[in-house]
Structure 1
Amino acid sequence: MTSVTVVGSVNLDLVARVARLPSPGETLTAHGVTRHPGGKGANQALACARLGATVRLVGAVGADPLADEALALLRAEGVELSAVTAVDAPTGTAMIQVDDDGETTIVIDTGANGLVSFSDSWGTDVVMTVLEVPDDAVAAAMAAPGFTVLNAAPAREVPAEVLRTVDLLSVNDDEHAILGRTADLDALPAVAVTHGSAGATLYRRGRATASAEPPPVDAVDGTAAGDAFTAALALSLAEGGPDDAALRRACLAGALTTTRAGAQPALPTLDEIRDYILENPAWLR
């Protein structure tokens, strides 16, 4: 069983359902508002656990009522939380709008996530991090032993010396463009670039080795699709899977996530991925 350390953010998501995303200055009436555990670090930790890995999360929450709610699903599904500390800052929150096509806008209040630190991966097989935590934590995570994975979101520049320690960089098209302004991404061992509904491409040292499209699904909420994609791809590659199969599995995980509302509640299990493949063999051709 693959072991994973995730150094990342923990949020409580406040999700408003709207017919369409508002224009600047416009006020819309929501269909309803729900609350879900979220945060890119926590999402990826839970995604890895649901895909069969043993997972430890390094993060921070506030000493407030939101913390237990934000950690509830992680705790219930066996993610190790002893390295999630309570700090003198509010638990992170995300304000999310989701339209009838599943498109989203997201505004984050960093809160306790701005105080995350990291020093020990406990010798796990995979170490993952995101850019919702401080630069020092990102750098320390990527310098740890093991297969290192950086999901460079939300988009910002990353120091070249940190990128040089990354085994797998997972980005969307915009993030890829931003990082590419100051770094030679073709020098990295592996870069996965997602293209929304058009799928994803995997590059090895600048050479495209695989491309995949997601299966057709009825999307209702794209909030955590990228987190499911990154988790599935990281585990597949760390376990030695071929690039094309790993990328296809990752696209499937992301697509299945969009079929349910919320971030963590929508993340698929290993059985759901296997069942989809068994029931839809034509998709693999």
Structure 2
Amino acid sequence: MTVVGSVNLDLVARVARLPSPGETLTAHGVTRHPGGKGANQALACRRLGATVRLVGAVGADPLADEALALLRAEGVELSAVTEVDAPTGTAMIQVDDDGETTIVIDAGANGLVSFSDSRGTDVVMTVLEVPDDAVAAAMAAPGFTVLNAAPARDVPEEVLRTVDLLSVNADEHALLSRTADLDALPAVAVTRGAQGASLYRHGVETATAEPPPVEAVDGTAAGDAFTAALALALVEGLPDDEALARACAVGALTTTRVGAQPALPTASDLDAFLEDHA
């Protein structure tokens, strides 16, 4: 499979609660982790057993190696990650004691990502942390196309018509629904955090699922993990209810660990988690 997406280095501050506008809080500490929605989804798919190629961009700076370290170590193909004349993307993340987050992104090199070659891959995934042209090209590629429409912004209806699976949270769904007929899409997954998710086929709800109860510590990559797991499960031919339940479990398990990519579970992690919550 091919993931067209962003590569970031995440700077994560742990706080007791998220600050109000104009408020200054003292953090428990600050850590650095590889992140970026594209890179997160690529690694999530890899850890769940897929062969993955990432298309992206980084800068010619020390952050690039750090941002790509886990992807490289775990066998994601990085030949299509190019070095461009812009800094490696960064994300400034605050995580409170309940695992809730605020995130501010500096796109940097991610704003120069382009895509033109799917190599006949069976699945092409992308996110909205890369330019519109790259999103459109990825969704026009042959194979099963997956768009995680985050961070929230408008997507041209002609692009949405090429999407096989749209993955959005409730706010993103509401935004896109104002300008496009999402009921026309083959599959739309809508996540609602701890309240679970629903899957729709051409506007008809075919499955709902709730995540197993967990003690969340960091929700940064939960949506990325959910999207990756759902796409793989559907491509593998799992029924909608099983695929959605599996994706919700992956998302929930991810919230129990700190960081974006470090939190993503392997297939064996998931099997053990599902057995514990059977």
Q: TM-score range by the shorter chain?
A: over 0.9
Corresponding residue of 1:251: 248
Aligned-pair CA distance for 1:279:
2.8
Aligned-pair CA distance for 1:124:
1.2
Corresponding residue of 2:149: 152
1:227 aligns to what SS in structure 2? helix
Aligned-pair CA distance for 1:99:
0.2
2:172 aligns to what SS in structure 1? helix
Map 1:21-40 → 2, pairs under 5 A: 21-40=18-37
Q: Which amino acid aligns with 1:269?
A: T
In 1, Cα distance between the equivalents of 2:197 and 2:187? Answer: 13
Corresponding residue of 1:164: 161
In 2, Cα distance between the equivalents of 1:122 and 1:249? Answer: 29
Give 5+ residue unaligned stretches, structure 2.
none
2:173 aligns to what SS in structure 1? helix
Residue 17 (structure 2) aligned to one of 17, 20, 45: 20
Residue 95 (structure 1) aligned to one of 92, 95, 112: 92
Taking structure 1 as the reference length, what is the TM-score of the superposition? 0.97
Residue 108 (structure 1) aligned to one of 102, 105, 108: 105
What fraction of aligned residue pairs are identical, expressed as a percent?
86
The answer to whether residue 49 in structure 2 is matched with residue 56 in structure 1 is no
Deviations 1:76-114 (CA, angstroms, capped at 9, x unpaired): 000000000000000000000000000000000000000
Q: Which amino acid aligns with 1:26?
A: E
Residue 187 (structure 2) aligned to one of 171, 186, 190: 190
Taking structure 2 as the reference length, what is the TM-score of the superposition? 0.99
Aligned-pair CA distance for 1:213:
0.3
Q: Which amino acid aligns with 1:163?
A: L
In 2, Cα distance between the equivalents of 1:45 and 1:61? Answer: 15
In 1, Cα distance between the equivalents of 2:123 and 2:228? Answer: 10
2:269 aligns to what SS in structure 1? helix
Q: Which amino acid aligns with 1:278?
A: E
Figure out how many residues of one structure are paired with residues of the other and give that number.
Answer: 278
Aligned-pair CA distance for 1:160:
0.6
The answer to whether residue 253 in structure 2 is matched with residue 267 in structure 1 is no
Please report the RMSD computed on the Cα atoms of aligned residues, expressed in angstroms.
0.5
In 2, Cα distance between the equivalents of 1:54 and 1:273? Answer: 18
Checking the alignment, whether the CA contact within 8 Å between 2:6 and 2:38 is kept in structure 1 is yes
Give 5+ residue unaligned stretches, structure 1.
none
Deviations 1:183-211 (CA, angstroms, capped at 9, x unpaired): 00000000000001100000000000000
2:52 aligns to what SS in structure 1? strand
Corresponding residue of 1:47: 44
